[in-house]
Amino acid sequence: GQSLEQPSEVTAVEGAIVQINCTYQTSGFYGLSWYQQHDGGAPTFLSYNALDGLEETGRFSSFLSRSDSYGYLLLQELQMKDSASYFCAVRANQGGKLIFGQGTELSVKP
Amino acid sequence: ETGVTQTPRHLVMGMTNKKSLKCEQHLGHNAMYWYKQSAKKPLELMFVYNFKEQTENNSVPSRFSPECPNSSHLFLHLHTLQPEDSALYLCASSQDEGSDYGYTFGSGTRLTVV
């Protein structure tokens, strides 16, 4: 089967740094994506990694290690508005659908 | 507003009812998707359409019937649903089925089957 594992919940304080990990087991790999979903809202695309290394976009960074089947989303200078669910997703074959993890609920406390 | 519009936002239906969910995008995307999101579970892909042609049916029960009349519109027709079908139904689109530029999701239809 194909599966993605990520923690179900993470709690952090404003201004802190948090890392959300994702490990995957899929028949193939064509890239790891991250999505953010606020309660009651649409999932929104955050980042995409096809090659090993770190991609930085403002306060958010995403990392991929294909040899370890592992990636993470790093959120810096946390703000209250970052409280949301974060999903990792893998494209298992070229032209294929995205397979999503179960999501990590991030709570940012004052 | 994300560019993908879903209606209605909320729907309560009985097990003998027939209803339809609508999804509309004017982003110029060629691929559209239906996902089911239940609490504490991964998003489950239901159907994929690419250039109006269905390219994937992920073993979805026949009480869910998709329709894609053109690249901008996607429907999900519902009939004789079960209470366990209660969930958030999300529509998404992407440039093409294999796009690396991410999916654009709608805000979903919260469906309750009573």
* Spatial separation of the C-alpha atoms in residues A75 and A89, rounded to whole Å: 17
pLDDT > 90: percent of chain A:
81
Backbone phi and psi for residue A83, each to the nearest 5 degrees, phi listed first: -60, 120
CA distance B101 to B93: 11
Instruction: State the average pLDDT over residues B28-38.
Output: 94
Cis peptide preceding B8, ω within 30 of 0? yes
Report how many Cβ contacts below 8 Å link chain A to chain B: 58
pLDDT band per the 50, 70, 90 thresholds, residue B1? low
Residue of chain B nearest A47, judged by CA positions = B102
Q: How far is the C-alpha of A36 from the C-alpha of B41, rounded, in Å? A: 15
Residue type, B66: P
B56 touches chain A (CB under 8 A): yes
Mean pLDDT of A25-53: 92
Instruction: Tell me: pLDDT of A95 over 70.
Output: no
Give B83-105 pLDDT, tens digit per residue.
999 999 999 999 887 776 689 99
Q: Do A31 and B103 touch (CB under 8 A)?
A: no
Asked whether residue A60 carries a pLDDT value surpassing 80, the answer given is yes
pLDDT over 90 at A4, yes or no: yes
Tell me which residue of B70, B31, B65 sits closest to B48, measured CA to CA.
B31
Question: DSSP 3-state assignment of B13?
Answer: strand
Percentage of chain B modeled with pLDDT above 90? 75
Cα(A53)–Cα(B13) distance, integer angstroms: 48
Q: How far apart are CA A62 and CA A47, in angstroms?
A: 7
Give the mean model confidence (pLDDT) for residues B58-66: 93
Q: How far is B19 from chain A (nearest CA, A)?
A: 22
Token representation of residue B64: 């869910």
Of B33, B42, B102, the CB nearest to A45: B102
| Predicted confidence band of residue B2 (pLDDT cuts 50, 70, 90) | low
Distance CA B40, CA B56 (A): 24
Six-digit token string for B100: 């690396």
Element (H, E) at A36: strand A32-37
Q: What is the pLDDT of residue B57?
A: 81
Residues of chain B in contact with residue A24, where contact means CB-CB under 8 angstroms, are none
What's at A21, amino acid-wise? N
Extract the tokens encoding B105: 């999701």
**Average per-residue pLDDT for chain B:** 91
pLDDT at B82: 95
Contact: B42, A101; criterion CB under 8 Å:
yes
Contact of A28 with A93, CB cutoff 8 Å: yes
Nearest to B45 among A8, A97, A103 (CB): A97
